[in-house]
Amino acid sequence: MGLFESYLERFSIDTKKKMKQQSHGQQKKSIIAFALTCNTPLLLMDEPTNGLDIPSKSIFRQLIAEAIDESTTIVISTHQVRDLENLIDPIIILEFNQILLNNTVAEISEKLKFTVEAEPSSSVLYSERALGGFLCVAPNTDATDSKLNIEILFNAAISNKDFFKQTFIKE
């Protein structure tokens, strides 16, 4: 069995059906399988997990993790960052024609901390109400080890463009 057939099997695609007979999700999985099989040095994917069910998103993450090596660059444009959170590194945040962030997870975690607080302190760059308090992003002045939250990071970058450019973008 070839790589393409293996990917189709993992996605539970009926290979006897033509593409136009498949559902939207099945077509998307077939296209993803084909794209990964091509083994190109640069792969661009736009919203690859939209329309996929939860098990298929998990298989997608597994296939991407297997496909990545030193000779491959995969650029994924998505609003579904939770689907890919453990695969994304470096993180690039763009707004229109501006790069607000282009750094590794380690570099971001060194400079920012992500916490849940009862009330946001004055040092917080961005906060939003959540269960249990406020999700907060603040400068990591005390070398706190925290789990990066990409959605909150994005919102912090959009609402604090100057801080992000000064802190992360080296001209």
- Give all domains of the chain, ordered by start, each with its CATH number: 1-88 (3.40.50.300), 91-171 (no CATH)
What DSSP state is assigned to residue 126? E
Residue range 93-138, pLDDT digits in tens: 888 888 899 999 899 999 999 999 999 999 999 999 999 899 999 9
* pLDDT at residue number 45: 93
Residues of the chain with pLDDT under 70: 171
Length of the chain: 171
* pLDDT at residue number 84: 75
Residues forming a β-bridge with 169:
none
* pLDDT at residue number 1: 73
* pLDDT at residue number 152: 93
What is the C-alpha to C-alpha distance for residues 57 and 50, in angstroms, rounded to an integer? 9
Is residue 93 a contact partner of residue 153, using CB atoms and an 8 Å limit?
A: yes
Is residue 122 a contact partner of residue 144, using CB atoms and an 8 Å limit?
A: no
Q: Supply the pTM of this predicted model.
A: 0.74
